[in-house]
Amino acid sequence: MPGLEKILRGILKYQATLRPEMVHEFEKVKDNPEPVAVLFSCMDSRLVISRLLQSSVGDMFSIRNAGNLVPHHDCLSYDSVTTEPGALELGCIVNKIRHIMVCGHTDCKAMNLLFSIKDKMADHSGTPLVLWMKKHGQRTVDKYNAWKEGGGKSAIIFQAESADKLFEAYIDPENQFAEVDKFSQINTLQQLQNIASHPIIHDKIANDEVRLNALWFDIYKGNFFMFSRSRKQFIPVTEESYDHLFEDGK
Ligand SMILES: [Zn+2]
């Protein structure tokens, strides 16, 4: 079957070239792991995170799903547990990782789907992907609808680390992205609020041991944006913005 050849050839190539170097890196990290971030991103095949972030063995815990969603604590129960809150615990509690990042992107197929069914959210039926998007994308849809009802120009208020840590976001104020990409930016920021809903990290948050930040990737231009709470919008990650973004997000 087409496709398997690429996978097997890839393994053979890795074993013949990178393997000794990688095994050395695995050994180095084994007793002294120092991961810097828990990263939630979309499963889109174009988001090759280790290349885009130039990260390597031991650098980060990566969780990928359709739409870079992190289910809200209200959705968690024995019958409906998902991996994302467990990953938060493994990353931030067990491994004491300080930075939690959510990365969304342009032309997201999951966001395109959620956007197309946003008026049918009351119908709790559908395929597994539709159910995933409906159940865990509802808060994104609510934020988007309220924003549009207000004219689509005003700031959206999100809750970050705790109920008293609110931040405002102006979505695409220069109007350079498609409507569904604006929706994707709102979705990315909503996940920070969803992450903060989990009691498992409340103490870490209260003690300022965990930081929540959002990245967003413009696929067709290849540019990264990071949300600046002080500037209240996504701004391009450049040499010029680096100091500001570092201070803002650290
Ligand atoms: Zn996507």
207 C-alpha vs ligand 1 centroid, how far in Å?
33
Q: Is 181 annotated to bind ligand?
A: no
C-alpha of residue 65 to centroid of ligand 1, in Å:
8
pLDDT tens string, the chain, 250 residues long: the values are: 779 999 999 999 999 999 999 999 999 998 888 899 999 999 999 999 999 999 999 999 999 999 999 999 999 889 889 999 999 999 999 999 999 999 999 999 999 999 999 999 999 999 999 999 999 999 999 999 999 999 999 999 998 877 778 899 999 999 999 999 999 999 999 999 999 999 999 999 888 899 999 999 999 999 999 999 999 999 999 999 999 999 988 8
CA of 234 to the centre of ligand 1 (A): 18
For the record, the structure tokens of 10 come out as 């890839």
Instruction: Provide DSSP, the chain.
Output: -TTHHHHHHHHHHHHHTTHHHHHHHHHHHHSS----EEEEEE--TT--HHHHTT--TTSEEEEEETTS----GGG--GGG--HHHHHHIIIIIIS---EEEEEEETT-HHHHHHHHTTT-TT-----HHHHHHHHHHHHHHHHHHHHHHTTS-SPEEEE-SSTT-EEEE---TT--S-HHHHHHHHHHHHHHHHHHT-GGGHHHHHTT--EEEEEEEETTTTEEEEEETTTTEEEE--TTTHHHHHHHH-
Which residue ranges form the domains of the chain, and what is each CATH number? 1-31 (no CATH), 33-249 (3.40.1050.10)
pLDDT of residue 151: 93
Distance in Å, CA 110 to ligand 1 centroid: 5
Give the span between the Cα atoms of 87 and 76, in whole angstroms.
Answer: 13
242 CA from centroid of ligand 1 (Å): 25
| CA 44–ligand 1 middle distance (angstroms) | 5
Which residue has tokens 């090759």? Answer: 48
In the reported structure, the alpha carbon of residue 191 is separated from the centroid of ligand 1 by a whole-number distance in angstroms of 14
CA of 167 to the centre of ligand 1 (A): 24
State in Å: Cα 106 to ligand 1 middle. Answer: 8
Half-sphere exposure of 83 (CA within 13 A, CB side): 9
Q: Which residues surround ligand 1, an ion (CB under 5 A)?
A: 42, 44, 108, 110
Angle between helix 179-196 and helix 109-116 axes, rounded to 10 deg: 100
70 CA to centre of ligand 1 in angstroms? 13
Nearest partner of 249 among 197, 205, 214, 201, judged by Cα: 214
- Residue 79 has what pLDDT? 87
Q: Which residues have a Cβ under 8 Å from the Cβ of 26 and sit 6 or more positions away?
A: 57
Category of 77 on φ-ψ map: left (φ > 0), alpha (ψ -120 to 50) or beta: beta
Q: Strand 99-105 relative to strand 37-42: parallel, antiparallel, unpaired?
A: parallel
Distance CA 115, CA 176 (A): 18
The reply, when asked if residue 103 is annotated as ligand binding, is no
